[in-house]
């Protein structure tokens, strides 16, 4: 992130001392001069030590107390465009400063300018002002106006889970006041050319082809799929029913899962592009309902930040942490139905009962044959004795 400031000050320096043009600037008519940004005093030889800090959650500007005193600007006259957002006095390393510090959450409320943004950065612009010191209906003291900016890159993470939508899932996620659209969809085969237009019905052991992609902005973010799991019910974190992990901590948990390279029909990897494709073998739960709901947690990374989108596999389950953490985006898809053979109850009964009946019939026949054979043998023996 970067920051900067510019200073508008209705105060002049002494002409005879304006010799260093890095600190003071002569007017076009050469009759007056002004101190450059950050310097003050009659000879422009004092550094106001103006510093803008662009923190993760806060934006701060500060300058030496002596700078404001030189221009006869009291602390109580300093404020942002919204006058309720006042400056304060702080002491840092034994030096006194006047400072304005606001959270990014209060940026608009304190009078921040409309956010400027593009595909890579977002710009915050603020202004620290001083009220004129009025005496009757006149003023002789300068008015200070400090314009300052903070430029932030896209943050790496996304948030806000979106509602369950059958057959495809898409949401616009807010990333530090910027929009990113992520989509989860299932395809009919490995070509990824035809998506299911209704709730998929897939046979056991057939491949299920999954694609997660950042549709807007296209081809900018890297996408990491942290975890994918299946449940029997639409709610991703339900404790009701069974669940099965497919991906965990960005790594394969189900041995039938394989990643597919988007550009070529070859083995791919998780986190390598803005589109992630993988497949797994269809299954069903042992208890009803047999239909599945697929859920995935995802993270966005800046193009230069490959490290954050490289999975780190470990034996520690992070599913609970991802449920609770606000930094993960959640996508859900379903239902996915299982194609079962069309059999009537009588067909199932005959399939089970007839083989058993056959066994008993054969057993009964063997008993009769053995009994008859033994009886015949006894009769032969008795005949020889006679």
- Could you read off the pLDDT of 238-276 as tens digits, one per residue? 888 899 999 998 999 999 999 998 766 566 788 888 899
Enter the tokens of residue 44. 């422009």
Res 324 pLDDT > 50: no
Taking Cα atoms as reference points, which of 177, 156, 176 lies closest to residue 304?
156
Question: Exposure of 298 by Cβ count < 10 A (0-12 exposed, 13-18 middle, 19+ buried)?
Answer: buried
- In tens, the pLDDT along 148-196 reads 998 876 443 343 333 333 355 665 555 555 567 888 999 999 999 888 8
Domain boundary among the residues 96, 125, 153 is at 153
User: Does residue 178 share a domain with residue 102?
Assistant: no
Looking at the fold, whether 179 and 308 belong to one and the same domain comes out as yes
Assess whether 131 and 252 both reside in one domain: no
**Dist. CA 90–CA 132, nearest whole Å:** 23
Q: What is the mean pLDDT of the chain?
A: 76
Query: What's the pTM?
Result: 0.47
72 and 191 co-located in one domain: no
How many Å apart are CA 63 and CA 321, to the nearest integer? 42
Please check whether residues 180 and 81 belong to one and the same domain.
no
**Which residue among 153, 181, 200 closes a domain?**
153
Residue 345 inside a domain? The answer is no
9 and 111: one domain?
A: yes
Continuous H helices in the chain: 65-70, 319-324, 345-385
The answer on 138 and 8 residing in a single domain is yes
How far is it, in rounded angstroms, from Cα 345 to Cα 282?
25
Which domain CATH number covers 14? 2.60.40.3210
Residues 61 and 179 occupy one common structural domain: no
Tell me the CATH number at 181.
2.60.40.4100
């Amino acid at each position: 992130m970067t920051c900067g400031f510019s200073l508008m000050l209705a105060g002049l320096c002494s002409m005879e001392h304006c010799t260093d043009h890095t600190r003071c600037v002569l007017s076009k008519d050469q009759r007056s001069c002004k101190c450059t940004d950050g310097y003050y005093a009659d000879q422009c030889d004092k550094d106001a030590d103006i510093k803008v800090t662009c923190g993760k959650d806060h934006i701060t500007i500060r300058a030496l107390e002596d700078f404001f005193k030189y221009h006869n600007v009291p602390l109580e006259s300093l404020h942002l465009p919204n006058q309720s957002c006042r400056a304060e006095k702080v002491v840092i390393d034994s030096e006194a400063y006047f400072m304005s510090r606001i959270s990014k959450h209060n940026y608009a409320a304190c009078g921040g300018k409309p956010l400027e943004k593009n595909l890579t950065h977002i710009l915050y612009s603020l202004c620290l002002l001083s009220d004129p010191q009025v005496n009757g209906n006149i003023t002789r003291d300068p008015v200070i106006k400090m314009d300052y900016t903070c430029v932030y890159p896209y943050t790496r993470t996304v948030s806000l889970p979106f509602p369950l939508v059958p057959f495809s899932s898409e949401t616009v996620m807010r990333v530090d006041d910027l929009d990113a659209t992520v989509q989860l969809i299932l395809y009919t085969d490995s070509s990824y050319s035809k998506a299911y237009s209704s709730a998929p019905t897939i046979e056991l052991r057939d491949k299920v082809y999954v694609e997660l992609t950042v549709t807007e902005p296209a081809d900018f973010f890297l996408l990491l799929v942290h975890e994918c799991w299946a449940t029997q019910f639409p709610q991703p974190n339900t404790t009701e029913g069974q669940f099965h992990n497919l991906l965990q901590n960005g790594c394969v948990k189900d041995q039938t899962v394989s990643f597919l390279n988007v550009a070529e029909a070859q083995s791919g990897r998780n986190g390598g592009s803005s589109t992630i494709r993988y497949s797994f073998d269809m299954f069903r739960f042992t208890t009803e309902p047999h239909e599945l709901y697929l859920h995935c947690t995802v993270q966005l990374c800046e193009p230069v930040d490959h490290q954050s989108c490289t999975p780190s596999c470990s034996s520690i389950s992070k599913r609970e942490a991802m449920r609770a953490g606000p930094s993960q985006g959640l996508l859900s898809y379903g239902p996915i139905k299982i194609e079962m053979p069309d059999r009537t109850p009588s067909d199932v009964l005959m399939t089970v009962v007839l083989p058993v009946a056959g066994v008993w019939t054969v057993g009964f026949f063997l008993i009769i044959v053995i009994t008859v054979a033994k009886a015949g043998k006894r009769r032969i023996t008795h005949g020889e004795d006679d």
